[in-house]
Amino acid sequence: MSLISRDKTLIWHPFTQHRTAAEVIPIARGEGAYIYDETGKAYLDLISSWWVNLHGHSHPAIAQSIYEQAKKLEHVIFAGFTHEPAVTLCENLQTILPDTLNRFFFSDNGSTAVEVALKMAYQYWRNQGKEKKTSFLSFDGAYHGDTFGAMSVGKKSGFHTAFDDFLFHVLTIPYPETWQDDHCLLEKEAHALSVLDRHLEESAETIAAFIAEPLVQGASGMRMCRPEFLRQVIDKVRAHGVLVIFDEIMTGFGRTGTTFALEHVDRTPDFLCISKGITGGFLPLALTITTDTVYQAFLSDSWDKAFAHGHSYTANPLACAAAITSLDLLRAPECQKAIAAIAKAQTQGLETLKGVSRIRQQGTIAAFDLAEPATPALRQQFLNQGLLIRPLGKTVYLLPPYCVSPAEIGKAFSIIMDIVTT
């Protein structure tokens, strides 16, 4: 039996309507920016395999670090124990983060990193007797993951409607997405700020925290906003005693042109959620990083004030070892040059587009919209031409690994243009 048939009899794939979905493609190996199917056909991975792969597939240095770590310690319970890779990773991250983000809580995927931030923010207030602070504030269109807390703050993403009745109370504000030659930007921002003002006036004392994907809403279609706008939002919510959570699960590790999007925004959140690119796409790992002020609010002689949350694979040593090496690769001057070169190639590629709308870019992320949602046939054409691209509705976007060459980006744009205009 073929791998496809064996898969079909057993496996339920994520985000898939199995009645109408195209057949899965069996992938045999990955190298650099390419993955290869069983017949040897290559696909240029222009979406970094759901935004996780930073340095290319099967990067030998990361593979080696996992192997070396596996020979020493594959895993250990993280309550009551610690290990070198976890501490070193946090020390290394500290050197590239704002000083106030200095308390690191491990989990193992993006949704749990968000869940942890929401729970910590809620309990932070509760531990101080502010029990009215039970709701959250987020943007329309935000996507923060698929667990219940993450779904609640992403309830206007359109991804979780089946669960609407189970989601907790969240206030939302309009998201003033923008693009090249957007003439209504200031009106959209002013409207969003006026809705925010109203929420803060009416409900600030009940809001525990505001959460945002800084600068780019990923899953809802690579929707971008201006740092100036986000800065105003943060200043307003802070002035009303609301904590700030940045979900940099997609935007982190160089995606927006700086190591973290918070650098563009020039504001430091109370919680930073990171995952996806953290291990370069090798192993699941996530961190919720917070401040000493938050940490101190959980210290007590009473267990009730402790943060009672943990996952079996918390701070898995293999994942931490992969993350240390991935971060070293990211910080190397060659990688920083590659990020700048990819951003430039994306700008040039976007300039060649015709007959598409809402052209936009933030660092290595480039996107544009088609007139209609991408059809299965269009998606298939990308694959036939050896491009791994997964449009989000009408939006076609590129978010490649940092080992892709500017020439490969240029070629991809010309193939994309041929496909979307025929």
Q: Which residues bind ligand PLP (CB under 6 A)?
A: 109-111, 114, 143-145, 213, 218-219, 247, 249-250, 275
Contact between residue 236 and residue 197 where contact means Cβ atoms under 8 Å apart: yes
Comparing CB distances to ligand PLP, the nearer of 160 and 413 is 160
Least distance (Å) from ligand PLP to the CB of residue 248? 8
Least distance (Å) from ligand PLP to the CB of residue 157? 10
Comparing CB distances to ligand PLP, the nearer of 52 and 416 is 52
Least distance (Å) from ligand PLP to the CB of residue 217? 8
Query: Which residue is closest to ligand PLP by CB?
Result: 110
Least distance (Å) from ligand PLP to the CB of residue 393? 15
Per the structure block, which two tokens stand in for 407?
């020439």
Helix axes 185-203, 227-239, angle to 10 degrees: 10
Measure the CA–CA gap between 142 and 366, rounded to whole angstroms.
18
Measure the CA–CA gap between 146 and 109, rounded to whole angstroms.
10
Element (H, E) at 244: strand 243-247
Comparing CB distances to ligand PLP, the nearer of 59 and 144 is 144
Comparing CB distances to ligand PLP, the nearer of 142 and 237 is 142
Comparing CB distances to ligand PLP, the nearer of 275 and 290 is 275
Taking CA atoms, 304 is separated from 25, 127, 182, 299, in Å, by 49, 9, 51, 10
Comparing CB distances to ligand PLP, the nearer of 109 and 178 is 109
Measure the CA–CA gap between 264 and 257, rounded to whole angstroms.
9
Residue 92: which of 331, 384, 366 has the closest Cα? Answer: 331
Least distance (Å) from ligand PLP to the CB of residue 228? 21
Least distance (Å) from ligand PLP to the CB of residue 277? 11
Radius of gyration (C-alpha) of the chain in whole angstroms? 21
Comparing CB distances to ligand PLP, the nearer of 297 and 392 is 392
DSSP-assigned states of every residue in 355-417 = S-EEEEEETTEEEEE-SSPPPHHHHHHHHHTTEE---BTTEEEE---TT--HHHHHHHHHHHH
Measure the CA–CA gap between 221 and 204, rounded to whole angstroms.
30
Least distance (Å) from ligand PLP to the CB of residue 414? 28
